[in-house]
Amino acid sequence: MKDMQAQLEKLRRDAAECALIRDLATDPKKRELFARLAEHLAVLASAVEQAIGESAGSEITPDLPPRP
């Protein structure tokens, strides 16, 4: 779980850095590239965050066999 949290934080940092570069870029192609990278990294971060939430939920409430 700590590995996933560390990856989530790294993805968020990388997305923020790409957004900053996008904002500072003067070349339209570079601006577009870093905008796409920032968006893609944000989507990946959301997926990791969702996986962490699902994993945490399964650790808190273990699956019980159905009652007869």
Q: Give the Cα separation of 15 and 32 in Å (integer).
A: 14
pLDDT in tens, 29-57: 999 999 999 999 999 999 999 998 888 77
Is 41 exposed, middle or buried, given 0-12, 13-18 or 19+ CB atoms closer than 10 A? buried
CA distances to 11, 36, 39, 43, 54 from 25, rounded to whole Å, are 21, 13, 16, 22, 37
Q: Is the pLDDT of residue 5 over 80?
A: yes
Give the type of residue at 62. Answer: P
Kindly report whether the global pTM for this prediction surpasses the value 0.85: no
